[in-house]
Amino acid sequence: MPSIVIIGAGPAGISMAVEARTAGVPAEDVLVIEKAAEHSFAIRKYYPESKRVTANYKGFEAVCTGTLCLLDSTKHETLSYLDRAILDHDVRVRYSETVYRIHQHEGRQLFTVMTDRGEYETPVVAIAIGILGRPNKPSYPLPNSLRSRLLFEITSTRFEGVRVLVVGGGDSASEYCQYLAQQGNDVTLSYRRTELSRMNHINEDSLRALADRGEARLLLGSDIEAIRDRDGLPEVAFKGAPAGVFDYVVYALGGSAPEHFLKTVGIDFDGPEPKLGAGYETSVPGIFLLGDLSAGRKGGSINWAFNSANTAMRRICEKYLPHA
Ligand SMILES: Cc1cc2nc3c(=O)[nH]c(=O)nc-3n(C[C@H](O)[C@H](O)[C@H](O)COP(=O)(O)OP(=O)(O)OC[C@H]3O[C@@H](n4cnc5c(N)ncnc54)[C@H](O)[C@@H]3O)c2cc1C
């Protein structure tokens, strides 16, 4: 029986396994389950290829408290760093396997983690599945006929000389605009607020510089009312401004905790956020939330994920694995 089952092999899940290995838990007692065919699915899917991965993302101080630590790097370097962490610490990941339920045994410190390929018993579960599996959607309906034109990430589509509307006001929205403009597209950003206060200074400056050079249009204070199908393209109706037709609309609205899954496990919530105690332990003793799931509404970063794993591991060692 594994001493710990870790769900998700993104930065949080990988660093959790590394922390367990560093604390002395044998490789065969640390099981990581990842639903994608490779680790760090969210990084692969959401980061533009040319993205600069910053260590102080979302203004988090770039301070590392655990074994892993990210410096400013490229997307490729970040993935290679995580590859190495897996190899160097003999972390065993079961890929292409999705966890859909965790059953708590009454009166015993024991869980059964159920996947589409099997079941695993363990006394400790670390849930590190992030928030990007369910990107936030706008409140107005999205026509089904425009499904291939209304996107939530930009790595699965080739954009060449097309009109793209990016919707959002955070770092991802700015990074999408920078990438799409570099690729020679006609880029517009729509954000409902009048100030770009949610992005870091580098991203704000880069976006404003794009606008100054005429390489992107900024529609600040623009509220989208509806999206209509205009001959197979999205026509965007703005409140109080003329409608526009684009080839693609890309939403960069973040994600949210998989509330249904976590509640089925028995985890208590405080409003939209799961309740977390010391070491990011949930209201179910022995179940921990890491990475983006432990970061609250603001969302997390890679170093946040690494640090959350170190904090959780210290608690796990004290409470559940005193001999590790
Ligand atoms: C566009 C964009 C740019 C960003 N830029 C930066 C940056 O420059 N610097 C930075 O520090 N941070 C950045 N971030 C944030 C950073 O990517 C996240 O904070 C980080 O990836 C969170 O790690 P995580 O392990 O918690 O979750 P994720 O990275 O989301 O990993 C979760 C993993 O769990 C797997 N999974 C999901 N459900 C299941 C299941 N049921 N069973 C098994 N596996 C499952 C997923 O496939 C995935 O591999 C950015 C985010 C975005 C969207």
pLDDT digits (tens, 9 = 90+) for 20-34: 999 999 999 999 999
| Residue bearing the CA closest to ligand 1, atom 30 | 130
* Model pLDDT for residues 16-67, shown as the tens digit of each residue: 999 999 999 999 999 999 999 999 999 999 999 889 999 988 777 779 999 9
The whole-number pLDDT of residue 298 equals 77
Residue 101 has pLDDT above 90, yes or no: yes
Residue 174 has pLDDT above 80, yes or no: yes
Find the mean pLDDT for residues 80-98.
98
- Distance from residue 55's CA to the centre of ligand 1 (Å): 14
3-state DSSP of 132-145: CCCECCCCCCCCHH
135 Cβ below 6 A of ligand 1? no
Q: What share of the chain is helix, strand, coil (3-state, %, to 5)?
A: 30, 25, 45
More confidently predicted of 134 and 52: 52
pLDDT > 70: what percent of the chain?
100
State which H helix or E strand residue 225 sits in.
strand 224-230
42 Cβ below 6 A of ligand 1? yes
Residue 179 has pLDDT above 90, yes or no: yes
The whole-number pLDDT of residue 272 equals 86
The whole-number pLDDT of residue 181 equals 97
* Neighbour count for residue 271 (Cβ, 10 Å): 7
Query: How far, in Å, CA of 43 to CA of 35, rounded?
Result: 14
Find the mean pLDDT for residues 118-143.
95
Question: If we measure between CA atoms, which residue out of 129, 153, 126 comes closest to residue 254?
Answer: 153
Q: Which residue out of 57, 86, 154, 179 has the highest number of ligand 1 atoms within 8 Å of its CB and is therefore the one to mutate? A: 57
Residue 171 has pLDDT above 80, yes or no: yes
36 Cβ below 6 A of ligand 1? yes
Residue 197 has pLDDT above 90, yes or no: no
The whole-number pLDDT of residue 56 equals 86
Residue 75 has pLDDT above 90, yes or no: yes
Mean pLDDT of the chain: 95
CA distance to 19, 204, 217, 312, per residue, from 177 (Å): 36, 11, 10, 36
The answer to whether 286 and 315 are in contact (CB under 8 A) is no
Find the mean pLDDT for residues 238-262.
92
Residue 70 banded pLDDT, cuts 50, 70, 90: very high
Crossing angle (nearest 10°) for helices 201-212 and 171-182: 40
Residue 297 has pLDDT above 90, yes or no: no
- Distance from residue 40's CA to the centre of ligand 1 (Å): 6
The whole-number pLDDT of residue 214 equals 96
Residue 204 banded pLDDT, cuts 50, 70, 90: very high
Token readout for 276 is 């977390």
Residue 256 has pLDDT above 90, yes or no: no
Residue 240 banded pLDDT, cuts 50, 70, 90: confident
Query: How far, in Å, CA of 309 to CA of 36, rounded?
Result: 21
Residue 12 has pLDDT above 80, yes or no: yes
The whole-number pLDDT of residue 198 equals 85
What are the φ/ψ torsions at residue 198 (nearest 5 degrees)?
-90, -10
The whole-number pLDDT of residue 134 equals 81
